[in-house]
Each structure stands twice: as structure tokens, then as C-alpha cells.
Structure 1
Amino acid sequence: MQTPSRESSLELAPQACQSCRSRKRRCDKALPKCSSCAKRGRVCDYYWRSEENSTPLAAAPAPSTAERGWYPSPEEDDQQQPQQPQQPQQPEGRAVDFPTILFLDPNLLRYGQVDTGPNQYYGATPVPPSVLHLLGGLDEIRSTADRFFRHIHQWMPFISKKRFYDLHLQPASHARPDVALLLLALKLVTSLPAAAAAAGSASGSGSGSGSTDPRTPLYYATKHFYQEVESSFSILVLQAGVLIALYELGHGIYPAVYLSIGLCARYAHALGINVSRTVPSRKVLTLVEVEERRRVWWAIVILDRFVSIGCPGRPFATSDPGLDDFLPADDAAWDQGTVRPEDLSTLSSPMTGHMSKFSLLCQAGRLLGQVLHYLASDVAIPDDVWMQLDRTLQSMLAAALNIDRPDFDQIAFVTLVALYTPWLADHPPSPDAPPPSERSRRARVVLDQITDRISANLVERQCLLGRDPEDIPPWGLYFAYRVCGALIRAPRQTPQAAAVIRTLREGFRTIDARWNVAGLYLQLLEAQEAIRLGA
């Protein structure tokens, strides 16, 4: 078959055909078919609209099945008749996406000879109009971002504030599906359940306006869009996944949060974050990006430990941090977009007073993992390990409490309570019960110390009820629940303990407007009291 060429054609099309343009290949513009499409059996359309009319200047005749290859044209999708099976013909130059190569044969990427297509990192999924409607205008997007960085970012800073404002608040970037997903997740995690339900209903995503059920239309819309965009293979998708898991954790959406955290860990592994150097990943060329990847990994580690605190024994989705792993850099410097290698420290470095709040949170998260590991083990915690954990946690708490506004949100509080939970009696001991063990006595001492500190700081200084609920992370709620439950089950209830219980209950009711899990803890406390009175 003679292929048309520039020399043999009587006239030329005014522009390249659609097939060559989409593949970014040179087109000789021959009519009725360019030489490239004729040679490879492709559809060749010169769909050009003039200013005078909107009809095609030239279009190739409807291709046969042999010319079209194995894929149907859009026009024939609904009318295709059953045909005899044919040998599929792979179109030349068909892009192979980056994640597929990364898993099937990553060595090909070292030589840069594989065409991975223009959407290798951001995906080809367009942003649906419903998502754009949920995001709102630029002013609403900026307001959502400001709210996130003013509140949640203060205790979970895993998104670079400078990079976010410099790169992702530009209107042109909102067409990228991974950026739109991150913005949608920010709106989800900063929304109160009732407000999120109203926003979702107004967008047509569902019903239930004014409901306090955290499974709002906005929640379902974000989860659904995440599934569509996850193939983008972008750290923004991972950060959105962490925000979704954080929302589920704060509102007590189980087992969804447990599964979401596992998905985040897998996604981070796929991106090459905190895995062996033999696993290829995208090259990161700035220290701020390196720090952002480190911080998102630590965020996953913390959530992975905390989600199992009520029932130790489930395996972690992330490996235990090693002593040579780097902690996050200074929070203030990172927010300004500056990270200096000389300021980094590892887990083996001695704790100092100038360490960032997030670094202390990461250290406490690692200790929580150790405690949960021992609590789930059939082997009792060795005395030396138990005493070392106790001393480390006590030193971390001393620094956190001896300030004007004590920070009861540190997981160190939670870890200390978790360490002694097995030795806090579920019910008052009977007269003929054996004498308490050393760890049981120590557990009561620790509980009394915590009660004294809570009384001094929460009751007298109003450090809990005087705070904006949006500034309070969910970790402290578990701590308060365990302490309150232990005081309820105590054989004798002192006036100080009764005041602490009243204050914590009031705190649960206040925070329930922000994190629904606070209301769930209130119901569990009521159940404990019912069991105690009925015993």
C-alpha cells in the first residue's frame, strides 16, 4: 500500500492531525491521511474549525477494524456489533504509566528511554465539576487553608506551609487532580460534621444537612475522589490520605481509620518513603521536600500506633523507627521553608529543651509503639525495660507540665497511662484478693500523680476548657477517658477526684462539637458507671 506523503499529496491540511498531536509526533499533514497514521493503521482526523463555520475541513473516512486496532472509536462505542476475534494490535508509542514501570521493571527508568506520558505523576483523571463546586472559589480555598495551618498544623505539621502557599493556591494548579484532592481533604478535616453535611448537601452530593454523623456527604465525596486519583502517584495524594485518616480517627469512624492508615503506609512505601535504598523513587532535590517526606512518614507512624491503643495486638502497618532515623527539623524554620542539615537530630540524640514540639510527639509515638508491643506480647515486660520506659515518660511529662499552659495533648501522657492500664483494676479489689503487685502499686501512684497535675492545671488554671476546641488533637481524649475511667472504678472517690471527673466530662462535651470521638468516650464512661453500679 502506498502511503501518502508531503510530496505525493495534492493538498495539505492546515495543521497536524489529532493522532500525531496527541503523541507529540511530526505530521506531514497529507490528505486524506498522513503517512504516520497510514503506516500504523491509526485513525487520522484533521478536525479543524474555521472562523466562518464549525464543520471539519477534512476528516478521514470511518476506519475499519483492522485500521483502528484493538480499541473502538468513541463514536462507535454505543453501536459496536459483535465481530470475529482478531489479533490485538498495540498502537505504537502508547504511554506506559510511571507507577507500572516502577513496579514491573524500575531499571528501565535509570536510562530515561521510556516514554511514560505527560501525566505520569499527576494522572489523567479530570477534576469533576462536583469536586470543584465543593472546593468553592479561591477565597474559600484560602480560608480553608488558613484554618488548617492555624489549628491542625500546629500539632500535626506534615505539610510544608511555604510550598503549599507558593505552589498549590495558584488557580491554575486546581485543575491537577492531586492538588484538588488535597484541597478537598483539607476542607474535610477542618469542617465540623454538621457544617460538612450542610456543605455536601448543598453541592448535591447527598442528604443529611445539619446531621452530626461524621460520615457526611463531604466525607464520602473525598473518599470516592481519593480512589479515583490514587494512581496519580503523588505525595499530595498521600498527604490527603493522612488527612482522611486523621478525620476518621478524630470522629471515631472504625474500622475505616485502621484500613486508611494501612493504605497510607503502603502508598508511602510505593513512593519510596522510608524504605530500602534499593527501592527506586522519584528524585528529591531540595531539603524542604526531603523534610516533607520525612514528616508525612512520622505522621503515619503516630497514627498507626495510636489507632490500636485501645486494643493492643494488631500488627503495625509501619516498621518501628530506628535509633538512627532522623527526627523532624525545627517547626518554625520549616514553616519558613528553610531546613539546615546541621540542625537535624536522630532518635539516639539526647532530648533537649529546644527540640520542636513535633519532634517530641514523634519520640512519644515511638515509645507508644514499644508499650503496645509489650502489652500485646505473651511475655511480661522485663523490669529494666518497664522502669526505663517509666523514667523516659516521666522526664518528658515534667518538661511539658512545668509551664503556664501545660500541653496535655502529648502522646507521652497517653503512653504513660497505656503502660499502667493492665495494672489499674477493672473493679474494686475484694477483701480476700491477693496483695497488689509492685506494678499495681506503682500504677496507683502514677494515677494519683496524674490526678494531682490535672487538678492543678485543668481545674484551677482552666487549661482544657479555656482552649479553642479546634486546637485540641484527639490524643488527649483517650488519655482523659482512661484517667476518668480509673477514677470512677476507684474504691474510694476523693473530692479532688470527683472534681477532675466533672471537669473531664465537661471537656468531652465541649470537644464533641469538634471531634465526635469525645461524645463516644462519654457514652463509654456511662457504660462503665452502669456496670459498676450493677455489679
Structure 2
Amino acid sequence: MQTPSANSSLESAPQACQSCRSRKRKCDKALPRCAYCTNRATRCSLMRSRADSRGQCRRDQPCEYWKPPATSRSATTSTPEREWFPSPPKDKHSDFQTISFPTILFLDPDLLRYGQVETLHAVAPATPHILHLLGNLDEIRITAEKFFGHIHQWMPFISKKRFYDLYLQPSFHTRSDVVLLLLAMKLIMAFPPVGPRSPRTALYHATKHFYVVVEDSLSILALQAGLLVALYELGHGIYPAAFLTIGSCARYAYALGINVSPRVSTKRVITLVEVEERRRVWWALVVLDRFVSIGCPGRPFATPDPKLDDLLPADDAAWDRGIVRPDSFSTLSSPMTGHMSKFALVCQAARLLGEVLNYLSNHYTSRDDSWMQLDRTLTSMLTVALNIDCPDYDQITFIYSALVALYTPWLSSNAAEEVESDYSRRGRVVLQQITNQINANLIERQCFLGRDPEDISPWGMYFGYQVCGAHMRSGRKSQQEAEVVKSLREGFVAINMRWGVAGVYLQLLEAQQVIRLGT
């Protein structure tokens, strides 16, 4: 690489730099730094990287040109291009390229052990438009309170204690990943607009765009924000965006070192609360990855199937207080009990849903009996969820959806023409049991229609849609079945004000009815 000289450059200083003058060396007067000073700075940079010097190299002096006295200025230097140019401010990074932490993490993570490579963590700051959408501190606190009072109750993968202790402090509001998480919280708490029902609002587009800007930060907050965006898309029926966002989140989790080989270098966590948070983030990803494909088995999952020795989330209430007890952990192979955390039971159901979808993708047309074991396990889990003092709606509806998904091939066809088999007979029994349960709880006790829309999860949409469709396709409906269908459709109308996918399912039911009348 050639260094520009005074003869090859139109921009040169009128006099030699001070360093060359003091050493009585010939100076090529190149701007902004002469060749001698440039070569000397390069040598000093190499000496710093080899010796890990923490100070500035004594030979690495700035190249400065002094402005000549006004009386000695010649005509050739009177133009603006030829006047005195001050040397750029001396910066310790000006002589070599600073490499970002994620780049080293992927190209050669072993270098990070020695701490001799300077890394850069700069991320583009939030724009005024983003900050305006986010609102002031009071609005942020209201959004956080709503989030932890509603969404967090059935999808707890953000540490409540760490959030309030750290991210609500004014000093953190300049961090782009914190701003992104706060923006995603505001998005997930937003109801669909009353006018045009499209959930692709300005807030949605702004959050998606800002996620792309911030993702280079390689922060768990950015991953949590991505999961909230995916949940928003799933709850409002935004496809294929929901499917693609979940896949992107899975890759981001791998980049962070979550659920990967221990040999992969990543940020070290030093508290049990952080370890638990990373575990919950992974399980939330597994839950979404399975549920997003519940209506269309066959597409590969973005996350691997959980193993029986994988740890489940710890006690939800204790974790919210910042307490994680190592002796209270349970695995997927642990017996299911009503004392397990609510989120842990949903995670177990998500693992079974994954097995159901794998079965439907590969084996359901054969005569094997794999579906029997899945049926028994899901039924046992449903019994555990129902036989407690305060049954949880979100757990029960998730299990219902997984159980109904197992019999979707039978439910989606004309049951009267289905070839009689153990599978079809069991499908009718399951349909009737769920119908009876809905009639007892949904209609008589009104446990569903009277709920606050902000508390409702989207887990029950799929099983409600399939139950309605199966009864609508049936030639003869009993009075009880007719009441269940009517109540479920009223429930979809109520949920539609919170989750737009309920309105989509209503349209699909109407399409089924039109097709049936047409035939």
C-alpha cells in the first residue's frame, strides 16, 4: 500500500509537520498525516497488540501541522484548500479497526479469553420517533404494570425483579435494547384498532423495524422483545410473519448461547435469576414454536425437541421475588403434580404438542398405536390441571388444544363417513368430553365469558374452532351441542377485541358454513 506524497496529493501542508521538524527529517507534508508519522503509528499499534500495553506508545505522537505566520503566507496557499488543516483529534482507535463483540464471538471466540482485542458494543440510539411512541416515564410504568399483571401471568419469561430494579431506572433509558423491550411490551398490550381491524399498526411496524436496528446488540432483552412480537403476531393471526419471527428468535437464542453446546463461548451469567431467565426464554420459544404450527403439521420446528432431563421453569411466584432455589427444580421426566409451577405445566404440554404434531406429520395414516400413548399422557395432564382448588384456564385450554390437535384428521373430515377405527371412536369420545366440560364450565359457571379480555391467552382459540367446526359438520346436533357452539362463537366475539385471531376463526367458521350449505 503506497502512502500519498506531496507530489501525488493535491492536499498537502505548506510546511513540514512539527514531529519531522523536531527530528530534522524530510516530511512529505501529506494530510491529514505524513508518511513518517503514519508508519510510526502503525508500528506502535503492532507493539500495543503484542505487548498488551495499556498506555499510549511513547513514539505514537500526533502529526501536527502548524499554521504559518500570516506574513509568510504565499499566494499558492491562500485558497481554502491550501490553508492550514489541523490534525484530526488523536483517538486510540484511529490506527486500527475496532471489531464488534458478536463478530469475534462467531469468527474466533477463543480470542475473547485473553482480553487483548478491543471490541465495540455501540448500537444505534433510539430515534425521537421511537421515543415518542414509547411515551414518558409514567406511561412506561403503566405499560409495565399492565404487562406484569396480565401477559406475565401466563407467559412469564421476563424477570419482574430485574426489570423493576434495572430497566425502569432513568439511567437505562438510553440503552437501545431496553427501549426495544419497552416498546414490545407496549405493542403486546395494545388492543386492535376499533376502526380498520388490521393489527399491522404503526406501532407494530415501528417495533419490527427497530428490532432490526437493535438486533446487533446481541442482548437477551432484544430476544425477549422478539418473542413478544412473535406472540403479538400469533395472537392476531399475522402469518407468515409469526412463523418467520419465531425462527429468527430461535437463531438469536443460539447466537446468545442459549440451549447450545457448553463449548460455545457466550456471555457468562453469575446469578441463578439470570440462569432461570434464560431457561424461561428458551421454554417460551419452544411453546410458541409448537403452537404456531398447531393448525398445519409438517413444517420443521425451529427448536429441537426437549429432552426428558431438561429442567422446567422453577416456581413462578418465587422467581418474581428474585428467589430461585436449586433444590426445587424438576425435569420433564418428573411426575406431573398440581404443585408444579403454572408455566412448567404449559411447557410440558408444549413438549407433548410437539410430539402430536410430529405424529401427525409422519404416522397418522398408518395403523400404529402411538396416538394412544399421547392420548393417555395428555389426558393425565388434563386431570392434574382440573383437579386442583383453582383450575387455571390457560393451562387447561393449552392442553385441550394439544388433545384436539391429536384428533384433527378425524375432526376435520366428515365423521359419518370416517372408517370405523379405535382412533375415530376415541376422537368422538374426546369431542364429547370436551363438549360436556365446556357446557359445565363455559356456560353454567361462565368462567370464560366473564373474564377480563386483557387476561385471556390465545391458547384456547384452536380447540374452540375445531370443536365448533366438528359440531357444525355433524348432521344432527343435540341441544347441548348447539348451546356449546353458540357460546363458543360468542366467546370468539368477546376475545376478538383482544386477540384478532378470534375474528379470523369466526370468518373461517362462516366459510365452513357456506361450503356446507353449498353442498
Same fold (TM over 0.5): yes
Q: CA deviation at 1:124?
A: 2.6
2:219 pairs with 1:234: yes
2:186 pairs with 1:187: yes
Q: CA deviation at 1:252?
A: 0.5
Q: Distance in 2 between matches of 1:61 and 1:116?
A: 34
2:461 pairs with 1:461: no
Q: CA deviation at 1:426?
A: 2.0
2:103 pairs with 1:103: no
Partner-residue secondary structure (3-state), 2:416: coil
For 1:218, give the aligned amino acid: L
Query: What's the counterpart of residue 128 of structure 2?
Result: 129
Query: What's the counterpart of residue 200 of structure 1?
Result: none
The one of 391, 414, 419 aligned to 2:406: 419
Query: What's the counterpart of residue 177 of structure 1?
Result: 176
Per-residue displacement from partner, 1:486-522 (whole Å, max 9, x unpaired)? Answer: 1111231000001101111111001100000000000
2:246 pairs with 1:261: yes
Distance change >3 Å, CA 369–CA 381, structure 1 → 2: farther
Per-residue displacement from partner, 1:428-448 (whole Å, max 9, x unpaired)? Answer: 525xx7x51111011001100
For 1:423, give the aligned amino acid: W
Per-residue displacement from partner, 1:301-360 (whole Å, max 9, x unpaired)? Answer: 110111111110000000011111110000000000010111111111111221001000
* Cα contact 2:359–2:371 (8 A) shared by 1: no
Q: Distance in 2 between matches of 1:101 and 1:534?
A: 62
Per-residue displacement from partner, 1:139-160 (whole Å, max 9, x unpaired)? Answer: 1000000000000000000000
Query: What's the counterpart of residue 284 of structure 1?
Result: 269
Q: Distance in 1 between matches of 2:433 and 2:334?
A: 28
Partner-residue secondary structure (3-state), 1:193: coil
For 1:412, give the aligned amino acid: I
Per-residue displacement from partner, 1:83-117 (whole Å, max 9, x unpaired)? Answer: xxxxxxx9424321100000110110111111113
Partner-residue secondary structure (3-state), 1:36: coil
Distance change >3 Å, CA 129–CA 381, structure 1 → 2: farther
Distance change >3 Å, CA 131–CA 425, structure 1 → 2: closer
Equivalent positions of 1:479-490 (< 5 A) are: 479-490=463-474
The one of 108, 112, 117 aligned to 2:115: 112
* Cα contact 2:338–2:385 (8 A) shared by 1: no
Bigger mean CA deviation after superposition, 127-136 or 404-413? 404-413
Q: CA deviation at 1:61?
A: 4.1
Distance change >3 Å, CA 101–CA 356, structure 1 → 2: same
Q: Say how many residue pairs are matched.
A: 455
Identity of paired residues, percent?
Answer: 64
For 2:103, give the aligned amino acid: T
* Cα contact 2:273–2:323 (8 A) shared by 1: yes
Q: Distance in 2 between matches of 1:343 and 1:282?
A: 25
CA RMSD of aligned residues (A): 2.8
* Cα contact 2:415–2:474 (8 A) shared by 1: yes
Partner-residue secondary structure (3-state), 2:119: coil
Q: Distance in 1 between matches of 2:409 and 2:221?
A: 40
Q: CA deviation at 1:2?
A: 6.7
2:328 pairs with 1:348: no
* Cα contact 2:338–2:388 (8 A) shared by 1: no
Query: What's the counterpart of residue 518 of structure 1?
Result: 502
Q: CA deviation at 1:407?
A: 3.3
Per-residue displacement from partner, 1:192-244 (whole Å, max 9, x unpaired)? Answer: 1228xxxxxxxxxxxxxx43210000000001111101001100000000000
Q: CA deviation at 1:455?
A: 0.3
* Cα contact 1:194–1:213 (8 A) shared by 2: yes
Q: Distance in 1 between matches of 2:316 and 2:339?
A: 11
Equivalent positions of 1:87-486 (< 5 A) are: 91-117=94-120, 120=121, 123-194=122-193, 210-378=195-363, 380=365, 383-403=368-388, 406-410=391-395, 411-424=398-411, 426-427=413-414, 429-430=416-417, 435-486=419-470
Distance change >3 Å, CA 532–CA 339, structure 1 → 2: same
Per-residue displacement from partner, 1:223-281 (whole Å, max 9, x unpaired)? Answer: 11111010011000000000000000000000001100000000000000001112111
Q: Distance in 2 between matches of 1:113 and 1:497?
A: 71
Q: TM-score, normalised by structure 1?
A: 0.80
- Greater CA radius of gyration, 1 or 2? 2
For 2:408, give the aligned amino acid: T
Q: Distance in 1 between matches of 2:18 and 2:348?
A: 69
* Cα contact 2:336–2:384 (8 A) shared by 1: no
* Cα contact 1:186–1:243 (8 A) shared by 2: yes
Partner-residue secondary structure (3-state), 2:450: coil
Per-residue displacement from partner, 1:52-82 (whole Å, max 9, x unpaired)? Answer: xxxxxxxx94379xx99xxxxxxxxxxxxxx
